[in-house]
Chain A
Amino acid sequence: SSELTQDPAVSVALGQTVRITCQGDSLRSYYASWYQQKPGQAPVLVIYGKNNRPSGIPDRFSGSSSGNTASLTITGAQAEDEADYYCNSRDSSGSRVFGGGTKLTVL
């Protein structure tokens, strides 16, 4: 069983704001990183650290953290943002663990 918990599915209207969350005890001490995965493609890093975007990731993607919860926010969701999103962090033993993933639907 995963030590990072994500909602399996979230939907958002085109142009609206959506928050995808990731819960786990390790997040009280360590940052999460976030990955976007579209069908048939490899995951792509979208957020790391406190709130850092790699080059090429639109600024509508942002990250935040509070207590045991990390969040990925998309402000003004676009059709191309429809994808699966995964969080990752350390687990209690120091190894890596992924959340179960959240399927984002843009309506």
Chain B
Amino acid sequence: QVQLVQSGAEVKKPGASVKVSCKASGYTFTGYYMHWVRQAPGQGLEWMGWINPNSGGTNYAQKFQGRVTMTRDTSISTAYMELSRLRSDDTAVYYCARFLSSSWYGDWFDPWGQGTLVTVSS
């Protein structure tokens, strides 16, 4: 079955960087864009950007440009999201999600990874 498995929880100090991994299985990794979404405690979902696993091309939300880097390793079907210069308000659960698009059905995210809690605290 299609599955995304993310790396474990992280605790970081302000100013540090964090790199979260997302390992895909059950489908052709290079065939679908991978998006990253985060959710601060008690808040809604916030879109961060995507990576095209085939080409490595990326598109980041303006809010995160200059601080986020999305990469992939096709040999192990894994996508990565690195966020730098962490602040306390970056404390959130970070999700990866496979993106599907159809001219007939529109587009959607399915499935989602289980989430990775990143805590930024001094």
Q: Which residues of A contact B (CB under 8 A)?
A: 2, 30-33, 35, 37, 42-45, 48-50, 52, 54, 84, 86, 88, 90, 95-101
Contact = CB atoms under 8 A, between A and B. Distances in A.
15 contacts: A2-B44, A32-B106, A33-B106, A42-B113, A42-B115, A43-B95, A43-B97, A45-B108, A48-B105, A48-B107, A48-B108, A49-B108, A88-B47, A98-B45, A101-B45
Residue picked from B35, B47, B95, most chain A C-beta under 10 Å: B47
Residue picked from A30, A31, A99, A100, most chain B C-beta under 10 Å: A31
A42 B45 contact: no
Contacts, number: 68
Nearest to A97: B47
Interface string B4-33: 000000000000000000000000000000
Nearest to A90: B107
The 5 residue pairs across chains A and B that have the minimum distance between CB atoms: A31-B106, A49-B105, A48-B108, A33-B108, A45-B110
Contacts of A96: 35, 47, 50
Nearest to A42: B112
B57 to A, nearest CB: 14
Interface of B: 35, 37, 44-47, 49-50, 59, 61, 95, 97, 100, 102, 104-115
B45 A43 contact: yes
Nearest to B102: A49
* Chain B interface SS verdict (over half): strand
Contact of B106 (A44, A48, A54, A95): A48
Residue picked from A37, A49, A50, A96, most chain B C-beta under 10 Å: A96
B44 A86 contact: yes
Contacts of B45: 35, 37, 43, 86, 88, 98, 101
A40 B95 CA distance: 13
